Structure 1
Amino acid sequence: MLKSAIASGLLLILSTQGYADESSEKALALLKKTTNTLQSAKTLSVRAVATIDEVEPTEDFKLQRTFSLEVKFERPGKLYAQKTGDENQVAYFDGKTFTVIDPIGKRYGQMALEGTVDDLLMKLDELNVQAPLIDLLLSNLTEVAQKSVLKAKYIGVSRVAARNCEHIAFRTAVADWQLWVAQDAQGSICKSVITTRSVAQAPQYQVTFGQWTYNTSIEENSFTSKIPAGAQQVPLTPGTFRLAL
């Protein structure tokens, strides 16, 4: 499951035990730079294009879905995330209520939750709700990312969407995780690929990011849910929604 892959591949990645070679040390240093930027940002916004593999349990086909992403985030507890394409959903969190909307199916799920995005992450994990990459928003991302990676490697400089990026790779017990980090002051993420080896046919989740914007004001109404007229409320239970992030 992508959530467990993220947990193993992203959040457990900065351990320095057993790493003496220059390649792994460089990869870990770049990852730390990136996570420090993300966790220190008071606000951030980004657009991206994502592809996700889905393995059909009955026919064993591996199918690829593609969608565009837009994310806006304000610490400590405000989030907007929208995806459009093969999957269409919008998610809102205003620090008091979490809402996810399927505008095509005209349905939505909602739950009261007063707290931060960290609290939201904990609740989603309890519900076994799939929310790939949402762990990037943890307030203590660098601190949490201190455990158990089997291998780290610096690959080299690569071009992603007309940007020079440094390609790094990691292996955990369940997943391989590749990251392309921009050669800029922030170490912004250009691209991420997670390959879940623990799942049959090793499905991938790939995201190519546009320009990240940090620490600029975001309109307050961006985080207020806008439920379409006639939409039916459904329980927010495991498997009902795969979130936009």
Structure 2
Amino acid sequence: MKPIRTAAALLIAAWAGSSMAADAGAAKTVDPQAVKALETMGSYLRSLPRFALSADTTTDFVDDNGQALQFARHAEMQVVRPNRLKASVSGEQGTRSMYFDGKTFTLYGSQHNFYASAPAPKTIGELVGDIADKYGIETPLADLFYWGSDPDQGKELTAARAVGEERIGDATCTHYAFRKPGTDWQLWIRKGAQPLPCKLVITATDIEARPQHAVRFNWQTQPSFGNDVFSFKPPKDAKRIAFARNEASKPASAKPSAKQ
């Protein structure tokens, strides 16, 4: 993806140029407080016994000509720890939903009205890794279950710093910038007693086009829903199919098509 240099972008760059240049050296250091903020956010997320969220995302895909094509999606998630999860993503190919009721994992795609089910491990954290390894299925917003859980996470960072404070929706958030080999990422964390992620932007720096993935979060920390939301009920005429197992590093999908 080549940067789009609109007149507005050029004006903003010119206005901010002097301060950005003066701060360039800071981008090369790892501020322990920035790493601590990430750990604090992760600890808070893991302390929530239940939550619901919605998120609007944009993701760049680079075509064969090197042009970035940006796709917008909407995600929703309901969670009861340690073993209840429902997540859905709606986009250009319909809605893909996953259900985990503590015993069974089910993936449903609205585009073809197909679903597949399989026995699941005991916890959400185990499930995320299990379905990725076995079936090549990525859990939406999976980082929510891992942020700050690895004590060595900060060691791979080559830069980390607080950029400043910004208003995201109705929350005041601290804007952080992180860097590790191949990836730049920015994270906005809500200030105060609920250090929730407000916004996330990831840039792949090891790809010439530098594609981005951006997420804007909307949280409910005291949601109202019953356990029935985690049980899958097949829609009318839905067809059950089987998951295809991963072969070496080749991503797998449910047959005849689980790509929704």
Relative to the length of structure 2, the TM-score reads 0.75
| 1:156 has 2:164 as partner | yes
Relative distance call for 1:169 and 1:74 in structure 2 (3 A) is same
- The structure whose RCO (Cα within 8 Å, separation 6+) is larger is 1
CA contact (8 A) 2:29 2:158 kept: no
Q: Distance in 1 between matches of 2:79 and 2:151?
A: 20
Give me the CA root mean square deviation.
2.5
Q: How many residues align?
A: 220
For 1:67, give the aligned amino acid: R
Shift of 1:230: 1.8
Alignment map for 1:11-160 (pairs within 5 Å) = 24-56=31-63, 58-87=64-93, 88-126=95-133, 127-138=135-146, 141-147=147-153, 148-160=156-168
CA contact (8 A) 1:53 1:204 kept: yes
**Partner of residue 224, structure 1:** 231
Shift of 1:45: 0.9
**Partner of residue 181, structure 1:** 189
CA contact (8 A) 2:58 2:214 kept: yes
What SS does the aligned partner of 2:203 have? strand
Shift of 1:79: 0.4
Q: Distance in 1 between matches of 2:234 and 2:208?
A: 37
For 2:231, give the aligned amino acid: T
**Identical amino acids, percent of aligned pairs:** 28
**Larger Cα Rg: Structure 1 or Structure 2?**
2
For 2:92, give the aligned amino acid: D
5+ residue gaps, structure 2: 1-25, 245-250
Cα deviations across residues 124-182 of structure 1 (Å, max 9, x unaligned)? 231332335213124xx533253321110110011212422110011111211110011
CA contact (8 A) 1:157 1:165 kept: yes
Relative to the length of structure 1, the TM-score reads 0.80
